[in-house]
Amino acid sequence: MSVQVSHLVKLYGAQRAVDDITFEVRAGEVLGFLGPNGAGKTTTMKIITGFLPPTSGEVVVCGYAVADQPMEARACVGYLPEHNPLYRDMYVREYLEFVAAIHRIPQRQGRVEEMIARTGLTSHRHKRIGELSKGYRQRVGLAQAMLHNPQVLILDEPTSGLDPNQIVEIRQLIRDLGREKTVILSTHILAEVEAVCTRAVIIHRGKLVADDSIEALKSRLSGQSVVIVEFGQPVEAALLKALPHVREVRSLGNHRWQLIAAAGQDLRPAVSAFAAERRLTLLELHKEVLSVEDVFQQLTR
């Protein structure tokens, strides 16, 4: 196990920012860390990197407990924090050489050149970081995280603020890294999780609400059948809820409703019969295909 997080709790005053989170990540996995803003993703990542101490619980990275052997644990983690902080006055090469010096990397120059080439910074290596565009700065952030060839990479929203082409490149880079290393990346772009990750952890209000492979999450989604219906007149939610097999009812406004039933249950006949019986005008009735968005929304509502 490259990263083991067990029963992590972080309190900010009375607020439980992280509430008893437990998960593990192995080498060769890219773990997507999902959740709405303020769910506790960044806090969890800061605890894994050792920037913040947990209120209780433990994090073990590459066999080193972050609390007891911080230096060893930090040496095997590469970290790209949210907002990608960099020294704007430093030159790209100078900065990477500084990072290499901290990590005591042998053959510093060669390794720095290699990372510059790998992240596509070759033509910008003699510029000041402050002069770079956001996409290139993000590459510098990735380069510093990967420079010491860490076993574990923690990337907090690595593709935020990039243009579509850059996003594709960075995702490819992360996928390549994920073959041998352990990557944990947070994002709220769900398509990114589908494109890059092998597994996803969804947290909501500090609690872990899902931890599964992408396929399992999708099938969990398809484990439900959803029908969207729009009536011409107001209807009470309780009446819809009383229909056979209906598990959940959600109002979409304007007399539109989302009805959720167990997999394999088609609610459409029942709904149309209901409308006929009550003399309601049926404006729309269709079966919806669930996306990762829906699963996400259901779990984090």
Partner 1 sequence: MSAVYFKEINAFFSSIIGYVVIGTFLVLMGLLLWVLPEFSILDGRFATLDTLFAVAPQVFLFLIPAVTMRSLSEEMQTGTLELLVTRPLTDAQIVGGKFLACLTLVLFSLLPTLLYYFTVYSLGAPPGNLDSGGIFGSYIGLLLLAAAFVAIGLFASSLTQSQMVAFLLAAFLCFFFFQMFDLLSRLPVFFGKTDDIVQAIGIQYHYDSMSRGLIDTRDVVYFLSLIAFFLAATVVSLGRRRW
21's torsion region: left (phi>0), alpha (psi -120 to 50) or beta?
beta
Residue number with CB closer to partner 1 (102 or 252): 102
Q: Does 99 bind partner 1 (CB under 8 A)?
A: yes
Cα–Cα distance measured from residue 249 to residue 21, given in angstroms and rounded to the nearest whole number? 30
Indicate the residue among 83 and 278 with the shorter CB distance to partner 1. 83
Nearer to partner 1, 81 or 135 (CB): 81
If the CB atoms of residues 149 and 265 are measured against partner 1, the closer one turns out to be: 149
Burial of 175 from C-beta contacts in 10 A (0-12 / 13-18 / 19+) = middle
For residue 70, the minimal CB distance to partner 1 (Å) is 8
Of 232, 206, 301, nearest to 260 (Cα)? 301
Residue 6's contacts (CB-CB under 8 Å, 6 or more residues apart) are 22, 57, 58, 59, 60
Alpha carbon distance 77, 134 (integer Å):
24
d(CA 220, CA 86): 40
Nearer to partner 1, 26 or 88 (CB): 88
CA proximity to 278, closest of 226, 228, 243, 246: 243
By CB under 8 A, tell whether 12 contacts partner 1.
no
DSSP characters over 140-154? HHHHHHHTT--SEEE
Please name the helix (run of DSSP H) or strand (run of DSSP E) that holds residue 93, with its range, or none. Answer: helix 92-102
Site string for partner 1, 100-119 (x = CB under 8 A): -xxx----------------
Cβ burial of 160 (10 Å; 0-12, 13-18, 19+) is middle
Q: Does 33 bind partner 1 (CB under 8 A)?
A: no
- How many residues of this chain interact with partner 1, rule: CB under 8 A? 27
Q: How far is the CB of 101 from partner 1 (least distance, A)?
A: 4
Interface residue with partner 1 among 1, 12, 28, 51 (CB under 8 A) is 51
**Among residues 107 and 213, whose Cβ is nearest to partner 1?**
107
In the region spanning residues 210 to 269, those forming contacts with partner 1, defined by CB under 8 A, are none
Residue by residue, what is the 3-state secondary structure of 215-263?
A: HHHHHHHHCEEEEEEEECCCCCHHHHHCCCCEEEEEEEECCEEEEEEEC
Q: Which of 43, 119, 144, 159 binds partner 1 (CB under 8 A)?
A: 144
Among 81, 120, 135, 161, binds partner 1 (CB under 8 A): 81
Residue 85 in the binding site for partner 1 (CB under 8 A): yes
Indicate whether 138 belongs to the interface with partner 1 (CB under 8 A).
no
Among 11, 27, 52, 299, binds partner 1 (CB under 8 A): 52
Binding site for partner 1 (CB under 8 A): 46, 49-53, 71-72, 74-75, 77, 79, 81, 83, 85-90, 94, 98-99, 101-103, 144
